[in-house]
Amino acid sequence: MLVRFLIRVPGMDLLLEREQPSTLPLQQRAEADLTHFLPRLGPVLAILLVVYSVWDLSLDPAHALQSGTTRVVFAGLAAFAFWPIIPNWSAHHRAAWAHWMLSGGVILASAQLDGGLVHGIGGIIIGLFLVPFIANGTANFVLVITPPALLFLLCMAMRCTLPEFVRGALLYGSAAAVAFVQMRIALLLRHQAMSVEAKLIWDATHDPLTNLHNRAWLMQEAARAFSTARRYRTNLAFAMLDIDHFKRVNDTYGHQTGDQVLKAVAQAVQDSLRETDRCGRLGGEEFFCIFPHASQEAAWQCAERIRQAVAAAEVAEGDATVQVTISIGLAHMSDVHLGWEDLLKRADEALYKAKAAGRNCIMAL
């Protein structure tokens, strides 16, 4: 789905477009980032809140003790959110709470000083620019920013003249608008970065012609499946597949038709697998399947489904129809296999036996 962001800047409109991927990975990434940074950045911000008592002392010594106490109290309240102490409290919830307490501490401490809100407006506004790192959407941005904004406006109304109130409200509103634009741009850049990352991962793990997994991914998955089966003593089978007389297809109809045949075989293999099975293209006309939790009988049934599906697949070539068959070598894991490479070798040996037996058949070792 194409999503457009309209960012209004005085004198021009910026229209940003992107393809929107699933939002769930982005939310998970943002949650992980906040979980990582809160225990590190949160205490630093709380310490800064307390250290700024020196500014209170220089501005209004008579009320510095009162404002300093407020800073310490709110820094302590914010500290509850720096670590996952409260159950079922997400990192986003903890970050919002920390922002409310730290911003509230700055605002209330400034309001207790003579002229503090007017002279301290810069420090109050700085807190707004942390919101883009906390909020992950418009609704969340509004939720995070509203309590401190209302507190600021209330304190301004009680402690400042009307011109000061209007000037402070305009400055705060302008800063909030800039923070909102920052958040939208940050979200856009994160989406784009994740899209690029996902494409790089896909390209590194998939065959570009058939869209099946490639050899590198298959070897890693085979090693993982073998290790899991050995650890939990579950069944596992490997299958090597090879299209019969594929060179004849290329020589007769051309490589473009050969590519279509490879795609048709890949689809037939994929459609014949169970949900837990894995398959991919090793290269050329060779494919490889992993059958976790498959007994010898179940693995044979899976292989037979594949053989029949490939034999039934058709590729149109002009007025003709191209059909191919496939030979399958099957190896079931047992205690004699020292590693996944040994099981793979047995499947390859079984494939050669299937070829020698006349092709379009299954041989198991």
- Catalytic residue numbers? 285
For the chain, what is the HEC assignment? CEEEEEEEECCEEEEEEEECCCHHHHHHHHHHHHHHHHHHHHHHHHHHHHHCHHHHHHHCHHHHHHHHHHHHHHHHHHHCCCCCCCCCCCHHHHHHHHHHHHHHHHHHHHHCCCCHHHHCHHHHHHHHHHHHHHCCCHHHHHHHHHHHHHHHHHHHHHHCCHHHHHHHHHHHHHHHHHHHHHHHHHHHHHHHHHHHHHHHHHHHHECCCCCCECHHHHHHHHHHHHHHHHHHCCCEEEEEEEECCHHHHHHHHCHHHHHHHHHHHHHHHHHHCCCCCEEEEEECCEEEEEEECCCHHHHHHHHHHHHHHHHHCCEEECCEEECCCEEEEEEECCCCCCCHHHHHHHHHHHHHHHHHCCCCCEEEC
